[in-house]
Structure 1
Amino acid sequence: MQKILFIVHSAPYGNESFFSALRLALQLQEQHKSAVELKLFFMSDAVTGGLAKQQPAEGYHLQQMIEILTAQGATVKLCKTCTNARGITDLPLAEGVRIGTLVELADWTVEADKVLNF
Structure 2
Amino acid sequence: MQKILLVVNSAPYGNESCFNALRLTLMLLEEHQHEVELKLFLMSDAVVAGLQGQAPNEGYNLQQALEIITGFGAVVKLCKTCTNARGITALPLVDGVEIGTLAELADWTLKADKVLSF
How does the TM-score come out when normalised to structure 2? 0.99
Question: Alpha-carbon deviation of 1:39?
Answer: 0.3
Task: List aligned pairs for 1:7-22, cutoff 5 A.
Answer: 7-22=7-22
**Alignment partner of 1:6 is 2:22:** no
Question: Alpha-carbon deviation of 1:48?
Answer: 0.3
CA distance in 1, matches of 2:46, 2:81: 12
CA distance in 2, matches of 1:82, 1:61: 21
Structure 1 stretches of 4+ moved >2 Å: none
Query: Could you say which residue in structure 1 is the equivalent of 2:36?
Result: 36
Give the residue type in structure 2 aligned to 1:73. G
**Alignment partner of 1:51 is 2:34:** no
Task: List aligned pairs for 1:33-112, cutoff 5 A.
Answer: 33-112=33-112
CA distance in 2, matches of 1:46, 1:33: 24
Where 1:5 maps in the other structure, the secondary structure is strand
Give the paired residue count. 118
User: Between the two proteins, what is the percent identity of the paired residues?
Assistant: 71
How does the TM-score come out when normalised to structure 1? 0.99
Give the residue type in structure 1 aligned to 2:16. E
Note the residue ranges of structure 2 that are not aligned, 5 or more in a row: none
Note the residue ranges of structure 1 that are not aligned, 5 or more in a row: none
CA distance in 2, matches of 1:38, 1:52: 22
Question: Alpha-carbon deviation of 1:4?
Answer: 0.3
CA distance in 2, matches of 1:13, 1:47: 11
